[in-house]
Copies of this chain bind each other. A is one copy, B any other.
Amino acid sequence: MPYGYNGKILHVDLTHGTWHIEEPGEKFFRMYLGGSAMGTYYVLKETPAGVDPFSPENVLTIFVGVTTGAPISGTSRVCVNAKSPVTGGIGDAQAGGFWPVELKAAGFEGIVIKGRAAKPVYLWVHDGEVEIRDASHLWGKVTGEAEDIIKAELGDPKVEVLQIGPAGEKLVRFAAIMNMCNRANGRTGMGAVMGSKNLKAVVVRGTKGRPPIKDREALAQLAKWGAQRFPQSDVAPMRDYGTAATIGAQQAVGGLPTRNWETGVFDGWEAIDGTTMSKTILKENDTCFGCIVRCKRVVEIKEGPYQVDPRYGGPEYETLSTLGSYCCVSDLAAVCKANELCNKYGLDTISTGATIAWAMDCYEHGILTKADTDGIELTFGNAAAMVEMVRKIGEREGFGNLLAEGSWRAAQKIGKGAEELVVATKAHEFPAHMPRVKRSLEVIYAINPYGADHQSHEHDPAYVPGAYDDRMAELGLLEPIEDIQLVNTEKLRFTIYTQWVYNLANALSLCQFVWGPAWQLYSTGQIATLVQAVTGWNMSLWELLKAGERTVNLQRAFNAREGFTSKEDTLPPKMFKPIVGGPTAGLVIKPEEFLQARSQYYRMAGWDEEGRPTRGKLEELGLEWVANMLYGKA
């Protein structure tokens, strides 16, 4: 067995109920690493062009990376890819937990799933063995119930369960995939694709150990370095408050999306901030495998109208903002209840909250009335209405059936100006970082292959005090851009280079809070140290960043094959209207500035004027096969 990875990829055909194991060899693993790089490789190679995302022909991939399972912080992540029912382009979602390490122990780097089972099934992958098992009795069950049944019937409480809830079964477009009932491969509707395959769960267990580490001493040194640095690092507050304290940080600078993105400040922010959560309902903090950070929240509410089961974890910053400030809801218990429902039904909290906020906006504008909303007064700030809407979406019940299509598709059906209120790119609702405030986001939200995403590059450095130390210089970024309202060439270099770092992290399936360019616990250069220690490959930062760039280009190539052009790389109308109130009042994106920044991004990335990777760029990255697929043989 090679160091760090199993070398084995499981291919499952649900239509025929068959599976086989592929062992592509070391060079393949070194080039594609795993995660979203290897996932996209298979989606691009095996999903025919133009198929419906819910077609059996759409290939769903679940990959960890070559460093997954190494005993050090931030290495237990899993990436899911498929053609997205939200965007129509490549889908991509990452999650943490213990499932990733358990897949490795079970003997695999990833699973490539095609076809559709005749009836509900789940996969049982254990110590190199594979079973496709009946899941009829699990269908319709929320995540906690399904997990209990699976563990009982397999007779092993240590199995790890990656599953969809009822939302995925019902093809809610933004359905998530859950593990531990509280870790979500949330975005781009990967849970709906899994549901379309009649695949309820992928259950893994390994008892024979993980692949060996090449240089255990070097890895131990790196882990020790991280442990010693952690208390002084920028990540240290994550242990105390999780991501949730970002509420207060954004509020302070006028960057907290509120009232469906009308403003960047929220009067009720303090009630939903992480510090408040810590002082009130926090039961404990939780962790992924082997991680020193322990950023996950576990909340419990035993009394009042919104009782919350700690099994379903607690809300992240994005959840607190989308289900909270987006909707002007300052009732922390309600937001936690909505979060619990999302995790039970298997819903992406970001798209769920953002879609509800959009519907509230429509309601406030008179575009929707009680006649549309099943009699619910869907006004901003109505906590009960927000919680009820989450349930309705999860059940595809009444008005929830429309919202289950996401804000963009719902708006197309409603018309009457509802489209003007949507805040999404490629139909993918915006996460809670504001492009009118941090201007590099205007480009990334527009061009990111799987739609607006907040973990695809480093946010504007003016927000990262001290980031311009040696860590940025290591990427050749020597000039700090303090002016956040500037989109100049240096800021675009910063955006593109750090995008490659984040995409490298996705290819290795590393946690972006632990490994990355600026404020993370470890620096980009230390990713090279990690890979070298685990695998024994002398991978340089050069080779690794090329892998990051390769990932972005693979994903853009998938979209290009699906006919995407610059028309898909847009910003919603609200971005071109000034922010109302707060310290960022009046900030606005000018359409001509956006178009100029996008064009410049394209050319700096080596793409054509429609945002397609050029043949030359693909060839340079070792992706000649992709170039031939897109453009024919040279």
Contact = CB atoms under 8 A, between A and B. Distances in A.
Interface of A: 27, 30-31, 470, 473-476, 478-479, 489-490, 492-493, 496, 524-525, 528, 537-543, 545-547, 596, 600, 602-606, 614-617, 619-620, 622, 624, 634
Q: Which residue of A30, A493, A537, A540 has the most chain B CB atoms within 10 A of its CB atom?
A: A540
Contact of A538 (B473, B479, B614, B617): B473
A533 to B, nearest CB: 15
A537 B615 contact: no
A605 B616 contact: yes
A596 B624 CA distance: 15
A494 to B, nearest CB: 11
Copies, count: 2
A191 to B, nearest CB: 35
Top-7 shortest CB links A-B: A603-B616, A540-B541, A541-B542, A604-B620, A476-B543, A489-B624, A470-B538
Nearest to A26: B478
Contacts of A525: 538, 540
A628 B540 CA distance: 33
Q: Which residue of A543, A547, A600, A617 has the most chain B CB atoms within 10 A of its CB atom?
A: A543
25 contacts: A27-B478, A27-B479, A30-B478, A473-B537, A473-B538, A473-B539, A473-B543, A474-B542, A489-B622, A493-B619, A493-B620, A525-B540, A540-B540, A541-B542, A542-B542, A542-B545, A600-B619, A602-B616, A603-B614, A604-B616, A604-B619, A604-B620, A605-B620, A606-B606, A606-B616
A402 to B, nearest CB: 42
Contacts of A545: 542
A140 to B, nearest CB: 48
Contacts of A496: 620
Given A474-B542, A476-B547, 10 more contacts: A27-B478, A30-B473, A493-B622, A524-B540, A540-B542, A542-B545, A603-B619, A604-B617, A606-B616, A606-B620
Contact of A31 (B478, B537, B617, B619): B478
Nearest to A624: B489
B476 A538 contact: no
A492 B616 CA distance: 11
A490 B621 CA distance: 10
A310 to B, nearest CB: 43
Contacts of A478: 27, 30-31
A474 B604 contact: no
B600 A606 contact: no
Given A27-B479, A476-B622, A616 B600 contact: yes
A551 B528 CA distance: 25
Contacts of A474: 538-540, 542-543
A590 to B, nearest CB: 16
A607 to B, nearest CB: 8
A329 to B, nearest CB: 43
Nearest to A620: B604
A541 B476 CA distance: 10
Nearest to A547: B476
Nearest to A525: B540
A475 B542 contact: yes
A600 to B, nearest CB: 7
A620 B614 CA distance: 15
B620 A476 contact: no
Contacts of A602: 616
Contacts of A543: 473-476
A573 to B, nearest CB: 26
Contacts of A27: 478-479
Given A31-B478, A478-B31, A615 B634 contact: no
Contact of A615 (B475, B479, B603, B617): B603
Given A27-B479, A525-B540, A619 B492 contact: yes
Contacts of A622: 476, 489-490, 493
A245 to B, nearest CB: 30
A476 B604 contact: no
A603 B489 CA distance: 22
A615 B602 CA distance: 11
A27 B493 CA distance: 16
A454 to B, nearest CB: 23
A511 B304 CA distance: 75
Q: Which residue of A31, A474, A596 has the most chain B CB atoms within 10 A of its CB atom?
A: A474
Contacts of A473: 30, 537-539, 543
A479 to B, nearest CB: 7
Contacts of A541: 540-542
Contacts of A538: 470, 473-474, 525
Contacts of A624: 489
A243 to B, nearest CB: 29
Q: Which residue of A489, A490, A539 has the most chain B CB atoms within 10 A of its CB atom?
A: A489
A407 B408 CA distance: 69
Q: Which residue of A490, A602, A622 has the most chain B CB atoms within 10 A of its CB atom?
A: A622
Contacts of A603: 614-616, 619
Q: Which residue of A27, A476, A617, A619 has the most chain B CB atoms within 10 A of its CB atom?
A: A476
A105 to B, nearest CB: 28
A105 B614 CA distance: 48
A553 to B, nearest CB: 13
A440 to B, nearest CB: 15
